[in-house]
A and B are shown apart, each in its own frame.
Chain A
């Protein structure tokens, strides 16, 4: 009995330490989010005070109202972002799935090299691709267009999408595909009718990651889009709310809150399948 008590104490202490670590992590990660939301409800004066207030003393919706009624085409920014990011996510999974299938299943020369080359491209900093992409889009007459922006987003999202999809496709037991080959189906139909339905959680996860990455991309829209009305939300936040003499913190935080909201909704919507996809085993006759 006597040996049980110290072990209980150790267990309790471990649990307390674990909770403390969780609380610290939560505070560190949620504090900026809280600050953003709180500031969005503050008046212009309160938001700019030298001694900041922890919560809005005179809560107001003026900042949100200002977004719709103000001179800035906030709705256009929002639609631009949503459309380009959705198009990027769809394009990425449509292109990445067959590429990942080939890398996962086909045996061809340079298979390893191609796979790792994608990983290396992924490791390059975003800005390295900026100049060559700019020139490519310029020659293709795609600068200052949403199509050009989608191409830009996709170049960075695709390598990641291919690797991620390959991981999901690797988990599909090969016997299932062999059964379909014996049933007489050609490769591309096996991919569409057998493999893709089994990696739907993976598709959703990959699309969400690509979507979120495109949504957060600031430097590409700032560089490739020159017309303010065509701009995406993150770039518009920087361009529209930062003036020469003052910064509209309340308006900026209201816009930032609305910018973050779709990301959170997207994440929570696929969270379950994302976890299932990442831990896998969801596929196959298990």
Chain B
């Protein structure tokens, strides 16, 4: 068990700043997911926490103890690598026992711990095999087993499921959560897959270009993204965006585009008035858009017109990707609605489902 805190952590390679001003507090036994696109710095941050990379600037603490200069061997962490990192020349048993032997545990104790862990992960029959004799899923279990058999304070996972097929990935997600519940370690999990992040994390840290954009529960990130990047990264299909101009007539304030009519809720108007922004981008999630007739549109708070570009059929529903004059929107609609490419469509939405962002900075207005 360990609380982890990062204060203004930066990482530089020569003149390139790859992590900047990272602040994060992780509680005991929490399961935190670092998510972001390639090159966002999530793996570098994980490696810094592991001690495999040095901090260039800032403070990294485990339970209030500064660990910036403490060697990886003395941090009481365990890590599961993307490519498993198993010792190819050792049996599964030896892979798991290797770290325990270094800690000079008695042979009987090592044996008991390896067998207990193997039983928990269902890999007991594989103990005598070499890694190359195992399937991808089995190797992943062994890598997990090797990490937890040591009962570490911090359990780090670097995209551990990225080499598995879709079916196995879903199965292993549940397995990892089960393992985390069974151990006392604090877990930090890196992934670029936001579905993995949403389904697994107690809290999620969204990163991009070496910066932490937002830290929050899956629900908070989905409902209240702090900027346009988080809004577009979290959620599948991604949130659609339309650029608008802000028009002010004394007390009245309105968002204007050629293809949309937007009646803002009072709270949103109030935010816009205070923000003093002239150019705004609205964001609407696919499930908040409905396909409407002209009659239905008249009564709606938000109406956007566009031309259908692509229709993706998913069985129970379909995704309609449409272009408007201010940007692209995606709508999730029931499969029975007949829509084809090049159709002109009208979408409606409730004002409360509209997210407002400053167009220049991408910052959420709320």
Known A-B contacts: A197-B89, A285-B84. Give 5 more (CB < 8 A): A173-B83, A175-B85, A178-B52, A285-B85, A285-B132
CA distance A184 to B100 in the complex (A): 9
Q: A175-B81, A286-B132 are in contact. Are A181 and B52 (CB under 8 A)?
A: yes
Q: From known contacts A185-B73, A185-B102, A285-B132, infer whether A180 and B81 are also in contact, taking CB-CB under 8 Å.
A: no
Q: Does the CB pair A183–B83 fall under 8 Å? A: no
Q: Does chain A have a CB within 8 A of B240?
A: no
Question: B59-97 toward A: CB 8 Å interface, digit per residue (1/0)?
Answer: 000000000000011000111011111111100000000
Contact B85 A183 (CB under 8 A): no
Write the nearest CB–CB distance from A112 to chain B, whole angstroms: 16
Chain B residues positioned under 8 Å from A185 (CB to CB): 73, 102
24 A–B contacts from the bound complex (CB under 8 Å) = A173-B85, A175-B82, A175-B84, A178-B79, A179-B79, A179-B81, A180-B98, A181-B52, A181-B73, A182-B50, A182-B72, A182-B73, A182-B99, A183-B98, A183-B150, A184-B73, A184-B99, A185-B73, A186-B73, A194-B87, A198-B89, A284-B88, A285-B88, A285-B132
Chain B residue nearest in CB terms to A185: B102
Digit string of A186-213 for contact with B (CB within 8 Å is 1, else 0)? 1000000010011000000000000000
A48 touches B (CB below 8 Å): no
Q: Which secondary structure dominates where chain B touches chain A?
A: mixed
| A36 at interface, CB cutoff 8 A | no
Residues in A136-186 with C-beta less than 8 Å from chain B: 173, 175-176, 178-186
* A133 lies within 8 A of chain B by Cβ: no
Residues of A contacting B103 in the complex (Cβ-Cβ under 8 angstroms): 184
Binding site for A on B (CB under 8 A): 50, 52, 72-73, 77-79, 81-89, 98-99, 102-103, 131-132, 139, 146, 150
Report the Cα distance A286→B84, complex, angstroms. 11
* A283-B99 in contact given A173-B83, A182-B50 (Cβ < 8 Å): no
Q: How large is the interface on A (under 10, 10 to 19, 20 to 34, 35 or more residues)?
A: 10 to 19
Q: Is the CB of A176 within 8 A of B87?
A: yes
Assembly CA distance A254 to B192 (angstroms): 69
Q: Establish whether residues B83 and A175, one from each chain, have CB atoms under 8 Å apart when the complex forms.
A: yes
Q: Which of A173, A183, A198, A283 contacts B102 (CB 8 A)?
A: A183
Q: Kindly name the residue among B82, B88, B102 whose own CB sees the greatest number of chain A CB atoms within 10 A.
A: B88
Kindly list chain A residues whose C-beta atoms are within 8 Å of the C-beta of B132: 285-286
Partner of B85, one of A176, A197, A283: A176
* Chain A residues, Cβ within 8 Å of B150: 183
Instruction: Give the one of B84, B85, B86, B146 with max A CB within 10 A.
Output: B85
Shortest Cβ distance from B74 into A: residue? A184
CB-CB < 8 A to B139: which residues of A? 285
Q: Is the CB of A179 within 8 A of B89?
A: no
A285 touches B83 (CB 8 A): yes
A178 touches B81 (CB 8 A): yes
Bound complex: CA A127 to CA B84 (Å): 50
Residues of B within 8 A of A186 (CB): 73
